[in-house]
A and B are shown apart, each in its own frame.
Chain A
């Protein structure tokens, strides 16, 4: 996907019969990203998606857990079943303590070559993207990065992976027809979180990591945890208020913060505000920023470019405020206000404040 396609090649449309030796590849796998004893929630989101794909294909879902024994692996295995896995592949080894490309690539390559999944999905986190690129090259197979939609193509049974292309102005659907496994990465929060079923369990298939420390050139000297955990809060907030270039001046960012404050919400912005330095980079919403899935998203002075849209349209409800009645954001917002954000934002802050005061008196 490095060269952007101008036109889909005609031959891709013709579904070729899968080469015989690739027919042995079956089942849908999800790499469960376990680090520092905790599973990245994108793994559960992917299991939810894998379940749907596997049901369409009438095959099983497997989770792959890699990590040192005793540091969250048991918990990760149990939860993988709760979130939809039918079986779990587990490699426990102290070499898998801190993420490093080589041991993780080795463990996963060996698992794939032994058990042959037809689809393998990873989160498009820094870890997942590091691993997926190395793995796809080692396996010489197709990898579609940062997908926003996954489906099964009816005629070829191939994974039809849709992602933004051309800087996000368009979407394209990509298939890997003559190589297996078909690999895809998906960013956190793009897919919805499935409901866990705590009664589910299943078989665990253990494999060993065929490697010793001396084989690994790269050493982890230190891990410096982020002081600020805000990063995660935006992605998981119930309510998000964001501003775009329609705010016009840096001091108007305060209007967004004020409304967020009253709503107990997180605040964010479109990309140009980061570039102008009006907000810090961890507040960017969109394709190259955070994907959010709040209950309510209020977007003020944001045009709704596709890169912004793919990061925000998972919200249950979107209210957009824009002076331009034809702004693209009204194509995917549920409610719209055609008006000046600089006037509407403070008015909304007041109206919510009043409403909440009434609720409190009544309650």
Chain B
């Protein structure tokens, strides 16, 4: 029986969307030169897995589905201390929505599980490009893993008893949940800070071999469940947001002093919404 925890962290390589521009004429995304990063939300999942390994021993495998160049992100994750990296890549995966993505990732996790039983699968809360927060629950459901979403802390985990206790962010409070391993955890952002990689880890990551699996390697026989074919949602249109029919009416004061502009602004706002002063109710407002 293996000691320690066998953990898989799903990470996605995404374009650094802060730097994405839309072509002003063709309305298409200008991808060229946009740097890629590990989905920032996934870093919290990675650190949580590494912390559990520190505590209880075990292994952390990072897994991504994406193009060949997603290898960069896997190496980066190894540089932070992950033990092993798997790249799931195949032309059949192109155009996957959440259902097809969770199908492919589940197959790969299933294969890892066949080698060594997996205790915990981690995902980030959401991606910054897909931004759906649905892939995690999708994997859990497909694989029959107990699902813990929006987890902010894992105060207890007991491999022998096969139990895990987690704090889950809910509406208006925190649920303390206890469930059985194996489970799937989606980590909440801001819950930890990813460690810097040690020098040996960084060097190891540079030379490390990245395991690459295609659909067949991952044991997927029915490729119609992958990619565009396996995605029930279809994108019918991509477009840039329209401006309002009129642009903002500019307020200019009698002279250009801030006081004059502010006085004009108050007049304009009250004229547009005469009930506004009544809405301003706090006693301190009149102090």
Contacts and interface: CB of A to CB of B under 8 A. Distances in A.
B269 A126 contact: no
Interface string A237-267: 0110000000000000000000001111100
Nearest to A225: B173
Interface in B172-198: 172-180, 190
A126 B169 contact: yes
B141 interface: yes
A146 B141 contact: no
Given A136-B138, A169-B22, A2 B101 contact: yes
A348 B268 contact: no
Given A129-B134, A137-B137, A160-B236, A337 B175 contact: no
Interface string A118-152: 00000001110110111011101111111000000
Contacts of B232: 140-142, 176-179
B244 A133 contact: no
Nearest to B148: A218
B238 A281 contact: no
Contacts, number: 329
B6 interface: no
B133 interface: yes
A4 B94 CA distance: 10
B233 A174 contact: yes
Given A2-B127, A295-B273, A347-B261, A224 B173 contact: yes
Contacts of B22: 169-170
B98 interface: yes
A164 B18 CA distance: 14
Nearest to B180: A217
B240 interface: yes
Contacts of B15: 166-167
Given A99-B170, A130-B137, A223 B175 contact: yes
B180 to A, nearest CB: 5
Contact of A351 (B138, B146, B263, B276): B263
Interface stretch (A7-15, A23-31, A194-202): A7-15
Interface residues of A, number: 112
Interface in B111-164: 127-138, 140-142, 146-150
A36 B131 CA distance: 28
Contact of B170 (A126, A178, A318): A126
Given A130-B149, A144-B233, A264-B280, A226 B173 contact: yes
Contact of A337 (B149, B238, B250): B250
Contacts of B150: 126, 130
B56 interface: no
B250 A126 contact: no
Nearest to A35: B171
B243 interface: yes
A59 interface: no
B1 interface: no
A212 interface: no
Nearest to B171: A125
A348 B280 contact: no
A96 to B, nearest CB: 14
B234 A176 contact: yes
A4 B233 CA distance: 12
Contact of B266 (A125, A177, A225, A348): A348
A69 B280 CA distance: 41
24 contacts: A12-B234, A101-B137, A125-B171, A126-B168, A127-B171, A133-B138, A133-B141, A134-B140, A144-B233, A153-B236, A166-B29, A169-B20, A170-B238, A171-B240, A173-B239, A176-B234, A223-B173, A226-B172, A317-B272, A331-B248, A335-B251, A348-B266, A351-B259, A351-B266
Given A2-B134, A11-B234, A223-B175, 13 more contacts: A7-B28, A7-B238, A140-B232, A164-B131, A166-B17, A166-B29, A167-B15, A169-B21, A171-B239, A171-B241, A261-B282, A264-B285, A335-B249
Interface of A: 1-9, 11-13, 33, 35-36, 40, 98-101, 105, 125-127, 129-130, 132-134, 136-138, 140-146, 153, 160, 164-179, 217-226, 238-239, 261-265, 281, 287, 295-296, 306, 309, 316-320, 325, 329-340, 343-344, 346-348, 350-353, 355-357, 359-360
Which A-B residue pairs are the 4 nearest by beta carbons?
Answer: A167-B17, A133-B137, A264-B282, A142-B232
